[in-house]
Chains A and B, each alone.
Chain A
């Protein structure tokens, strides 16, 4: 597919897009540098900074809407970031429809979660620091989606990685939080290395990382190069987005404070991989093998996420596995290509709303239940937490795809698109997506019923659940409204809006099933899954994990992926490290120490020449002079030359 990409330079109001990144960054700097002096008002500064970015983002967005469809982009080159030889990297930003919707998602949902966190972190002594990191995250995430080249994206990419690490291990005195932070960091490094090498490949083959230049020249690359490049980018995307095989860090990341889980590990950062693939659509559509790999990763991950999510008892982990699974849907979407890019982005936005909504709801439950996270010890909470219950219900109905909530409008088209892939694989991916929908309905209903309905199964010290303060419920209500409405809004206007980024929708292949049949089927599996869960868990469940069959045990053990990671990577890694340490101690160190001892010895001996006597200095100068004169004369007489 030939694609020419041109971005219009930023002008007018849009030349201020750098403010989007600068404001939260400045706020983060103030919060982190002022230290305790900012403790009193720091959190409000943090909220204000993100809200200001949101308002600005809205202004820019409306401005962009006012432009002609062909000129709907604003590129702002600020300065030469790197200039070495032929290599030029701009410090530049790009505000186009895709970046625009991400900016609104990040700052909009981000503002609400910031507001919520004011209440959630009220009693935490590190609240100011928390908001500093949070603002840092928002700034980095905005840089990620606003950069106009891959190096800027990588800059933001590493920035969000850092913020994520800091926030996962925010309660670093808990060993589990510290370990989870480290795990996230290390697994992300694997993906980041892929992305970095991908960028190197661009430098080597195209000599540039500017989006417009890269996308314009993809057709000039050999298909192998495109495949390698795409796979490297995919590795990066899978690392950041918690996709197979780099998914294991995401559920552990729930050790961080709940607003972090909601903002970073559900609504925004983990969708960066989807953004990367959507942004690089020119690369991914240029190679069908690549698309198949992306689709397969998506399908596999979405099923894994569902199955494991159905067996977990920790409220946040269920939601985390659900995130893994929903991002699998998005990968499925971007892998399908064509019109499905826009579908994936719509699902991403809708997911941003309903998942943030449910995470904050879970946080509200934990807030009222003394940080209890085991759903086996909840039940009947709807009596005590009306607002949390109602808003969570909206999120639940949205994610399982009950019309007319957002999830229905965003997920169902992806399932339909999977059935329209065009050959026998339509059945494979379509059925996977359909099965995923049923499983999603099952485990989300299980979560919802066990938490809010059925008999009360509280622990002794937890007899009096209470509703959270307004500062937490108001964002919940707003996010619930988003969960209800988002999908409908998106499905009408966004595909056309994103057209300049992804190109016009291509003609569909013949679907293997008719669209209406798919719609009916997906509703049927959803209702079946939800009904089954309702029937099973209506009356509560055992207070402890019960022995179970092979499948459930496997799911409880994360389908043994951790064990595989340990056996395939961790242990050989440890052995390799040990071997290298041995080699280093005996071989390299021996050599290095030998050289060092040699130089030290030489130094010691040479020192003795520095006697302090003028006569010996004069002698050494004379010797030098004789040698220099001798050398020159030798050259002149032709001895040396």
Chain B
């Protein structure tokens, strides 16, 4: 029997993930051992510390470029940039998740399994403080995302996918208000997510059959060999892509998005819209750029069609939405389409501009959902569009911030939305994908309509009796909103530093 050789592990390069996973495990222990009163504060502090420490660890090794643990994890420019992005956006999401002053007990329930409508349920909806398990769950999810963008073989990638998905399924079910909707969303997300994971796993199996291994470098080498079964290659590529497209919410695999975004507690929706997007596109970039760039001419038209379909579906369906969270969900779908346009440029600028877009969009969408948590009445958040009429008269500051974010989504210059779209479209034209840009511009025009409709509603409609009040945001939500809005302005006015950073980072190791 041969000696079993343990692969070398570079703990330093893995430190950001190790910190998060460690902190999440500690968080679960704390859940058991700390008194109920103090749990919230302790868990929140731990979560902030963990994410911050992890972020510092990412920065500390900004020039690391290596593959470690026997080829399972690649720590390179895109990994570090995307990990940094996930952590930065995650930190802001944590601020929204940790807010306890807008609603008594916070936006989460303590026990998700209680039958909806029962006496006990009404009681917990009323005043019981929410579950503090959300913090370890969030940390686990963030850790999984860090691993997802770093995974250098398909199996590690699958494990990471599950590690970050499972906590998200749970988090979706914890909304304090509209319990049924929340539970339904979680179940849908879980069922469809498992379904998509099955596609992914089947794709991995086919790739194993094709290349004799699951490492991306192995796949890359095998793609160059014309003797191998092309059916396995394309079948595997298609199925793996479907698994990733599902997480990134691209049509026609986006169907879960509006329902889940609407049903989940809004801070969790924000987390999904910002961080999950980064993670999903990070993995998609790595798979396409590292493993499959040998067949780029074959997948470009197929994925291009999906990008066009996604942009069209997102834009067209956004027009008739009447619920703010669903509107933002479709906007997020359309933005996934723009991101895919950047991905399909398949050049260095495509990589860097997609990464820039992810950060720019992430901050804007966090601010948008942050504002959604503020507009509420006695029954919780008032998400129906009609309820937002005339909000500008009653709460000009919040309405102005929301207007600004909407303008950023619409891609108006001097906002990050403009610079980001400009970057991905520029990269796509450079990569010969002008047809995608044409659709991108057309759908941007379509999307301007729903955004501006909301702006008109906010400012030009008379407030009526049903216009809800805007809660005074607590410190955490205020900080999150300020960060989101400032980042949206800053990346629109002086995008150069971040663009330079993405350019420096835009090189995968294989």
Contacts and interface: CB of A to CB of B under 8 A. Distances in A.
B412 to A, nearest CB: 18
A539 to B, nearest CB: 64
A635 interface: yes
Interface stretch (A39-47, A258-266, A381-389, A616-624): A616-624
Contacts of A599: 316, 319, 446
A617 B320 contact: no
B321 to A, nearest CB: 8
A610 B238 contact: no
A606 interface: yes
A610 B242 contact: no
B298 A635 contact: yes
A93 B138 CA distance: 54
Interface in A317-336: none
Contacts of B187: 614
A interface SS class: helix
A412 B216 CA distance: 88
A81 to B, nearest CB: 14
B235 A610 contact: no
A617 B193 CA distance: 11
Contacts of A224: none
A628 B242 contact: yes
Contact of A621 (B255, B302, B313): B255
Contact of B253 (A600, A621, A629, A631): A621
Given A600-B319, A603-B316, A603-B317, A636 B252 contact: no
Contacts of B239: 625, 629
A641 interface: yes
A610 B255 contact: yes
Interface in B244-294: 246, 251-253, 255-256, 258-259
Nearest to B191: A614
A612 B320 CA distance: 16
A621 B299 contact: no
A417 B400 CA distance: 61
A628 B255 contact: no
Nearest to A630: B238
Contact of A620 (B188, B235, B252): B252
Given A599-B319, A604-B320, A614 B192 contact: yes
A614 B263 CA distance: 14
A632 B238 contact: yes
Given A617-B192, A618-B191, A620-B252, A628 B241 contact: yes
A186 B252 CA distance: 52
B334 to A, nearest CB: 13
B188 A617 contact: yes
B466 interface: no
B320 A607 contact: yes
B199 interface: yes
A27 to B, nearest CB: 25
A602 interface: yes
A229 B297 CA distance: 49
Contact of B235 (A604, A633, A640): A633
Nearest to B446: A599
B426 to A, nearest CB: 11
A603 B302 contact: no
B196 A629 contact: no
B interface SS class: helix
Contacts of B305: 631
B239 to A, nearest CB: 7
Contacts of B256: 617
A625 B241 CA distance: 10
Contacts of A625: 199, 238-239, 242
Interface residues of B, number: 39
Given A606-B313, A614-B192, A635 B320 contact: no
A629 B238 contact: yes
A618 B192 contact: yes
A632 B299 contact: yes
A171 to B, nearest CB: 29
B508 interface: no
Given A624-B242, A632-B299, A641-B298, A618 B235 contact: no
Interface in B323-353: none
B234 interface: yes
Contact of B246 (A610, A621, A641): A621
B252 A623 contact: yes
Nearest to A602: B316
A623 B252 CA distance: 8
Contacts of B195: 618, 621
A632 B292 CA distance: 13
Contacts of B238: 625, 628-629, 631-633
Interface string A231-246: 0000000000000000
B436 interface: no
B4 interface: no
Given A632-B234, A633-B235, A636-B234, A624 B252 contact: yes
A606 B192 contact: no
Contacts of A614: 187-188, 191-192
B253 A624 contact: yes
Interface string B180-199: 00000001100110011001
A600 B320 contact: yes
Interface string B192-209: 100110010000000000
A612 B256 CA distance: 9
Interface in B439-492: 446, 449
Nearest to A633: B234
B395 interface: no
Contacts of B230: 636
Interface in A178-210: none
A640 B187 CA distance: 39
B188 A636 contact: no
Specify which of A599, A604, A629, A640 lies most central, judged by the most chain B CB atoms within 10 Å of its CB: A629
Contacts of A631: 238, 302, 305
B405 interface: no
Contacts of A632: 234-235, 237-238, 298-299, 302
B344 to A, nearest CB: 15
Contacts of B38: none
B231 to A, nearest CB: 6
B271 to A, nearest CB: 22
Contacts of A602: 316
Contacts of B191: 614, 618
Contacts of B234: 629, 632-633, 635-636
Interface in A594-612: 596, 599-600, 602-604, 606-607, 610, 612
Nearest to B255: A617
B231 A636 contact: yes
Nearest to A604: B320
A635 B302 contact: yes
B331 to A, nearest CB: 14
Contacts of B242: 621, 624-625, 628
B86 interface: no
B443 to A, nearest CB: 11
Contacts of B231: 633, 636
Contacts of A641: 297-298
A621 to B, nearest CB: 5
B306 interface: yes
Specify which of A603, A628, A636, A641 lies most central, judged by the most chain B CB atoms within 10 Å of its CB: A628
B319 A603 contact: yes
A636 B449 CA distance: 40
22 contacts: A599-B319, A617-B256, A618-B191, A618-B192, A618-B195, A620-B255, A621-B192, A624-B242, A624-B252, A625-B238, A625-B239, A628-B238, A628-B241, A628-B306, A629-B235, A629-B239, A633-B234, A635-B234, A635-B301, A635-B302, A636-B233, A640-B301
The 3 closest A-B pairs by CB, nearest first: A624-B252, A632-B234, A617-B255
Given A617-B192, A631-B305, 13 more contacts: A599-B316, A600-B320, A603-B316, A607-B317, A618-B192, A621-B242, A621-B253, A621-B255, A624-B253, A629-B238, A636-B231, A636-B298, A641-B298
